[in-house]
Amino acid sequence: MDSYSRGPAGEIQSQPIGDAFLETARRCKDGLAVVSRHQAVRFTWEQYAWEARRTAAGLRALGLRPGDRAGLWATNCVEWVMLQFGCALAGVVLVNVNPAYRSHELSFVLKKSRMQALFLREKDQRSDYRAILEESRAGQDLDLNEVIYLDTPDWRSFLREPDGVLPPVDPDEPANIQYTSGTTGRPKGVLLTHVNLVNNGRFIGQYLRLTERDRICLPVPLFHCFGSVIGTMTGAVTGAAAIFPSASFDAAATLRAVELDRATALYGVPAMFIAELQDPALPTTDLSSLRTGVMAGAPCPIQVMKRVLTEMHCPEIVVGYGQTESSPIITMSRVDDDLETRCTTVGCAVPETEVRIAAPETGETLPAGQQGELLARGYMVMKGYDGEPEATASAVDADGWLHTGDLAVMRPDGYFRITGRARDMIIRGGENIYPREIEEFLHTHPKISDVQVVGLPDQRMGEIVMAWVRLKPGEAAGEDEIQDFCRERLAHFKIPRHIRFVDEFPMTLSGKVQKFKIRQFEIQARGLA
C-alpha cells in the first residue's frame, strides 16, 4: 500500500472567527471562559464577548478597517485574547510578535508586516519593550502610527463602548499572521485565514473531546499556534475555558493553576512537562481533575509520557504534529490510543486532511514503511507567505500539497512517525530555529569571518544551538563576547549555548560545508550520544 492517508470526513465551516466566538459566548453565557491567574482576572463567556466587542470598537476608533494589520507583542495575559477576538470581530489581521524578540528581529517584523498599530507592555522582568521598540523604529519608514501600552492608562482609553456595528468579514481572508523562520535566514509571515483557524480548532476539540465543562491550562505562549489555536481558538469553538497560570512558563504556577482551577486539560512541550514532573510541589499537588492534554513541539520520551499519565493523572493526553503553515495540526493521536502509539508516532490525519509520504527527489508517493518527506493538503494549508509568492510556491505546490520539510514514515495503519528533518531546522523547547538566520546575524560581528550553526541533542530542551566560529585573521574572541553580542539583539532561545572557535569546517569536494559532521563531532566530544 502507498503512504497516503485521509482523515475522517468532517464538515468544513466557512465562518469568520468572530461569528464562531459569539455563538459560543451566547451558548455558554454564564460559564467560565478565561482565567488569568497572575492578573487575578476571571471572565464568564458573556463578559469575554463584551470585552472582545469593546476591543473591536477601539480598533475601529483607531481607524483600522478589515484587512488592516495590528501587532501584539506580549506574554500571556487577558489583553492578549481580548485583542485576538477583538481583531477577529473587527476584521483586523492580528500579527503575533514573539515577546523574546530584540531590536534586530522586531525591526524586520515592523517593516515586513506593515502593521499600523502595535500593542505591548512597557516592560517586564525580562525586557524593556519600550526601549527595544524605540531602537527598532529608529531610521525606519514604517506604516506604524499607533502604539498602545497595555500596562498604562493608554489601554483603558483605547477600549470603547460597542456600538453594535460589526463589519462583514470574509472567512477566506487572513485573520492572523504568524512569523516563522525561513531557510533564507529571514522570518516569513504565514497568512492564516478564518477558515484555517476555526476548523482546525474544531477538529482538535473533537479529538480531545472538549466541551464547555472542560478547562484548559495553557502555560504555552499565545504568540505560537500552540497557544492561540490549539489553546484559545479550540476553547472559542467548544466552550472550554482557558486558564493562564503565569505570563510566561512557570512550572510551579502551572501546577497551582491545575489544582486551584480544577483544569481538565494541560498543554505543553515535553520540556514543560519535564519541569513540572521535577517540581518539588508535584507530590503534594492535587491534579486529579486532569483528563487530557496535548504534548507537541518536540518528540516525547516514552518515560516522560508514562509519568505524565500516572503521576500527573492525565490518562487521555495526546500528541499532535503540525506547523504554523498548517494552522497548525496535521496529525494527532486519539485519547484511547495505547501508550506506545502515543509515544512512537504523531498520530493519524485529522478530519478533512490528506497526508502522504513522498520521495524528496521525485515527489512520488512512497510505499508504506519507507521514509520520505511528509506532505499535507486540505482546508488547513496557509493562504501563503505574506508578500512572498516565490516562497509560497516553493512551500505549497501546484496541486495544493504543503511540503513540511519533515521526514516521516507511515505505518500500514495510517499512523505517522517523524524520523528527521529534510530542512536544516533546530527545535528547542518547541521553538523552531533556522540556523541560517543566526548565521547571517553573526556575520555582522566585526571579528567573525564565517560561522556554521547546528543543533545538538539536549535532554531537557530537545535540542540546543551550537555555533562553530571562524574569526578573521589576527582577531581574538571568547564565548562570552559572542553570546553577549547575540543577547542584545536576538531572542534568547536563538543564542548559541556552546561556541567552538575553529580554523576550518568539514567540506565536501565541491566546497559545501558538511554540517552533519560538525554535529557528529560535537555529540561525540560532549558525550551526548
- Distance of alpha carbon 320 from its chain centroid, rounded? 12
- Is pLDDT at 460 greater than 50 in this prediction? yes
* CB 207, CB 10: distance < 8 Å: no
End-to-end CA distance of the chain: 35
Q: Which CATH superfamily is domain 15-416 in?
A: ANL, N-terminal domain (3.40.50.12780)
Please tell me the predicted confidence (pLDDT) of residue 422: 62
- 181 band by pLDDT with thresholds 50, 70 and 90: low
The conformational region for residue 382 under phi > 0 = left, psi -120 to 50 = alpha, else beta, is: beta
Rg (CA), the chain: 23
SS (H, E, C) 261-307: HCCCEEEECHHHHHHHHHCCCHHHCCCCCCCEEEECCCCCCHHHHHH
Alpha-carbon gap, residue 411 to 181, rounded angstroms: 30
* CB 93, CB 121: distance < 8 Å: no
**Counting every residue, how long is the chain?**
529
Q: Which CATH superfamily is domain 426-525 in?
A: ANL, C-terminal domain (3.30.300.30)
**Exposed/middle/buried for residue 161 (C-beta within 10 Å: 0-12, 13-18, 19+):** exposed
Please tell me the predicted confidence (pLDDT) of residue 204: 98
Alpha-carbon gap, residue 467 to 453, rounded angstroms: 4
Higher pLDDT pick, 407 / 283: 283
Higher pLDDT pick, 410 / 165: 410
- 360 band by pLDDT with thresholds 50, 70 and 90: confident
Cell of 387: 508578500
Please tell me the predicted confidence (pLDDT) of residue 365: 98
* CB 234, CB 208: distance < 8 Å: yes
Please tell me the predicted confidence (pLDDT) of residue 99: 93
Query: Can you tell me whether residue 400 is helix, strand or coil?
Result: coil
H runs (alpha helix) in 28-90: 45-61, 78-90
Per-residue burial over 60-69, b if 16 or more Cβ lie within 10 Å, else e, is bebebeeebb
Residues β-bridged to residue 471: 448
Most confident of 107-121, 336-350, 427-441: 107-121
- 433 band by pLDDT with thresholds 50, 70 and 90: confident
Closest residue by Cα to residue 491 from 458, 465, 517: 465
Specify the residue for cell string 496535548: 294
pLDDT in tens, 235-276: 999 999 999 999 999 999 999 999 999 999 999 988 789 889
Please tell me the predicted confidence (pLDDT) of residue 177: 98
* CB 318, CB 334: distance < 8 Å: yes
- Is pLDDT at 185 greater than 80 in this prediction? no
Please tell me the predicted confidence (pLDDT) of residue 421: 67
* CB 295, CB 305: distance < 8 Å: yes
Alpha-carbon gap, residue 478 to 308, rounded angstroms: 41
Q: What residues contact residue 84 under an 8 Å CB cut-off, 6+ apart? A: 72, 94, 222, 228, 232
- 427 band by pLDDT with thresholds 50, 70 and 90: confident
Backbone angles phi, psi at 377, to 5 degrees: -145, 145
- Is pLDDT at 184 greater than 60 in this prediction? no
Q: What residues contact residue 212 under an 8 Å CB cut-off, 6+ apart? A: 27, 28, 31, 238, 239, 240
Residues of the chain with CATH 3.40.50.12780: 15-416
Whether the upstream peptide bond of residue 270 has omega within 30° of 0, thus cis, is no
Average the pLDDT over 480-493 and give the result. Answer: 93
- Is pLDDT at 511 greater than 60 in this prediction? no
Average the pLDDT over 386-411 and give the result. Answer: 95
pLDDT in tens, 314-355: 999 999 999 999 999 999 999 999 988 998 899 999 999 999
* CB 255, CB 287: distance < 8 Å: yes
Please tell me the predicted confidence (pLDDT) of residue 515: 84
**Exposed/middle/buried for residue 209 (C-beta within 10 Å: 0-12, 13-18, 19+):** middle
pLDDT in tens, 28-74: 999 999 999 999 999 999 999 999 999 999 999 999 999 999 999 99
User: Which amino acid makes up residue 486?
Assistant: C
Closest residue by Cα to residue 299 from 265, 327, 262, 274: 274
Average the pLDDT over 424-430 and give the result. Answer: 83
Cell of 75: 506574554
Cell of 431: 521553538
pLDDT in tens, 210-236: 999 999 999 999 999 999 999 999 999
- Tell me the DSSP string of 295-345: E-SSPPPHHHHHHHHHHT--TEEEEEEE-GGGSSEEEE--TTS-HHHHHH-
Please tell me the predicted confidence (pLDDT) of residue 425: 77
What's the mean per-residue pLDDT of the chain?
Answer: 93
Closest residue by Cα to residue 188 from 179, 176, 196, 197: 179
Closest residue by Cα to residue 315 from 213, 219, 208, 202: 208
Cell of 254: 502551572
Residues of the chain with CATH 3.30.300.30: 426-525
Please tell me the predicted confidence (pLDDT) of residue 510: 42
Q: Which of 151-160, 177-186, 190-199, 467-476 has the lowest mean pLDDT?
A: 177-186
Percent of the chain with pLDDT over 90: 80
* CB 460, CB 123: distance < 8 Å: no
Q: Which of 37-41, 87-91, 423-427, 435-439 has the lowest mean pLDDT?
A: 423-427
Alpha-carbon gap, residue 180 to 126, rounded angstroms: 22
Average the pLDDT over 136-161 and give the result. Answer: 96
- Is pLDDT at 139 greater than 80 in this prediction? yes
pLDDT in tens, 117-134: 999 999 998 899 999 999
Please tell me the predicted confidence (pLDDT) of residue 304: 84
User: Which amino acid makes up residue 376?
Assistant: A
SS (H, E, C) 217-251: ECCCCCCCHHHHHHHHHHHHHHCCEEEECCCCCCH
* CB 220, CB 205: distance < 8 Å: no
